[in-house]
Structure 1
Amino acid sequence: MQRIGRIDRRLNPENEARIIADHPEQKELRSKVVYWNFLPPEDLDVLLHLYQLVSHKTLRISKTFGIEGKKLLTEKDDYEALRNFNETYEGTTTLIEDMHLEYQRILKEHPELVDRLKMLPGRVFTGKEHPSKNAQAVFFCYRIPRPDYSLAGDEDEHPWTEEAGETKWYLYALASEAIYEEPAEIVDIIRSTPETPRVCRIEKQTLTDIRKKVEKHIKNTYLKRVQAPVVIQPKLKAWMELAER
């Protein structure tokens, strides 16, 4: 059992070259590392508190230096999942949980919305005034296909389906041309009630151009990161203009 630092030193290219030169028969085995991350059983963890130590150190490092892409050792190690686990473990709700609770409350207060939502077509568009003065933005909600491991495909490949996909939010700010992806940065801007006036002032061509920019952003970031096939495209479900006040 080794610390990650020792694994890194083991893979020093110069050392690996010397080992292969001295032992050619090991060429196929070198430069490959298999590692497991594990935690002790609960009764032992009471004594060691390793999980608390590791997770708190991870969060502290992130707050100080940031963790690129919110990932840990590999692209599958989800930092956000760790943070959400800690919040659940400590008895606090996450932002996503708060949003789900708000959604359930809205459906309870307006039960007719369930049937109305089922009747809505794809690519629903609406608009309202931006909550901040002299600001304009466009909100997008996409469903992005992912591999469906419940379905068998050719040559052990799994088809990419919308049902197995992920819902992603994007907010395009017109002034800065920045694209925001975190729900925490978006939810308060788009929050509406049945009494919220519908306002649409941005030119249609401008909206179309913005949508193309956002979809290009998705292709160059998310789809590229998950190595999606070229034919896979994000599915626009809803978008909202946030007009200048």
Structure 2
Amino acid sequence: VLAEGLNLQDASCLINYELHWNPVRLMQRIGRIDRRRDADTEARLLADHPELKADRDYAYYWNFLPPKELEDLLSLYKTVSKKTLRISKTFGIEGKMLLTPNDDYEALKEFNSHYEGSTSAEEEIALAYQQLLADNPDYLEQVKELPRKIYSGKMASTRKGYFFCYELPTKRADGSWSDGDGIYRWYVVDPETNQVTKDLHEIWTAVKCERDESRAFNANEEQFSEVRKVIENYIKKNYLKAIQAPMGKKAKLVTWLQMI
């Protein structure tokens, strides 16, 4: 019931009540409970639940298989197993398991080193971020001092449009809703078609620039207001309604960029 792209870094177990026909989607689901890259977030989680410290190094999943009478009709398990087996023989799957512990196959490589060790899109962004921090030791402290809604512009390298970073409200464990400590999402809006892009790597490729890159900006207030309405309506329909956010809870604009 959760929207795609929602990370479950404070969870430790994923239960699949139904099996997607595409095994890659199954692996992506499991990967959503193991997004534990932020040391500060992990420290806060352990501060609230110190009893879970021993389990934080592991992610668990449980697959419910269809009853035999349904399996005879759907052949879902057979379909998923064959597809997963084909992938495993090519790339390898982390944990050396398929859908159940008894499934047998030859694990050629660990899933994290698939494609002969090439860097994934997420790894490329993470490495670039680490290099940014290494080159600018005071960067994180400087960012904390910046005002909200700052903006800039650049000549488009891959696509034109408007980049937005929004902070989205989330529900805390005690039932209250966040007000300034939510999650962050990136979006790009094409002002001609109003199409919204959420792909992280695609957006990062479009917005990244060098320190000495010239600022290019020609948007006026009316143009910006129209594009902002598009993205905030999109967030309302595709995020706020999905999490059943209460009245008054809105996404907060952090920063934006025009690409011309």
- In the alignment, does 2:187 pair up with 1:170? yes
Q: Could you tell me how far apart the structure 1 residues matched to 2:242 and 2:118 are? A: 31
- Tell me by how many angstroms 1:115 deviates: 3.0
1:180 maps to: 197
TM-score by length of 1: 0.58
- Aligned residue for 1:147, secondary structure, equals coil
Q: Is the 8 A contact 1:128 1:199 kept in 2?
A: yes
- Aligned residue for 2:226, secondary structure, equals helix
Give 1 or 2 for the bigger CA radius of gyration. Answer: 1
- In the alignment, does 2:145 pair up with 1:119? yes
1:193–1:131 CA distance, 2 compared to 1 (3 A): same
Q: Could you tell me how far apart the structure 2 residues matched to 1:239 and 1:141 are? A: 6
Q: Is the 8 A contact 1:137 1:173 kept in 2?
A: yes
Structure 1 segment 148-227 matched on structure 2, within 5 A? 148-149=172-173, 152=174, 158-162=175-179, 165-227=182-244
- Write out per-residue CA displacement over residues 81-118 of structure 1, whole angstroms, 9 at most, x where no aligned residue: xxxxx853756654233212211101111224233212
Gaps of 5+ in 1: 6-35, 40-49, 60-85, 153-157
- Aligned residue for 1:102, secondary structure, equals helix
Structure 1 segment 1-245 matched on structure 2, within 5 A? 37=63, 53=81, 56=84, 87-88=111-112, 90=114, 93-132=119-158, 136-149=160-173, 152=174, 158-162=175-179, 165-243=182-260
User: How many aligned residue pairs are there?
Assistant: 166
1:14 maps to: none
- Aligned residue for 1:169, secondary structure, equals strand
- Write out per-residue CA displacement over residues 164-221 of structure 1, whole angstroms, 9 at most, x where no aligned residue: 5221111001232211011122111101121111111122210121112100110011
- Tell me by how many angstroms 1:136 deviates: 3.1
Q: Is the 8 A contact 2:194 2:230 kept in 1?
A: no
Gaps of 5+ in 2: 1-16, 20-61, 66-77, 88-109
- Aligned residue for 1:200, secondary structure, equals coil
Q: Could you tell me how far apart the structure 2 residues matched to 1:102 and 1:213 are? A: 30
Q: Could you tell me how far apart the structure 1 residues matched to 2:254 and 2:246 are? A: 21
Percent identity, aligned pairs only, is 26
- Aligned residue for 1:217, secondary structure, equals helix
TM-score by length of 2: 0.55
Q: Could you tell me how far apart the structure 2 residues matched to 1:238 and 1:227 are? A: 25
Amino acid aligned to 2:133: L
1:25 maps to: none
Q: Could you tell me how far apart the structure 2 residues matched to 1:242 and 1:211 are? A: 15
- Tell me by how many angstroms 1:124 deviates: 1.7
Amino acid aligned to 1:56: T
1:189–1:58 CA distance, 2 compared to 1 (3 A): farther
By relative contact order (CA 8 Å, sep 6+), the higher-ranking structure is 1
- Aligned residue for 1:232, secondary structure, equals coil
Q: Could you tell me how far apart the structure 2 residues matched to 1:92 and 1:206 are? A: 41
Amino acid aligned to 2:197: Y
1:62 maps to: none
1:54–1:126 CA distance, 2 compared to 1 (3 A): farther
- Aligned residue for 1:240, secondary structure, equals strand
- Aligned residue for 2:63, secondary structure, equals coil
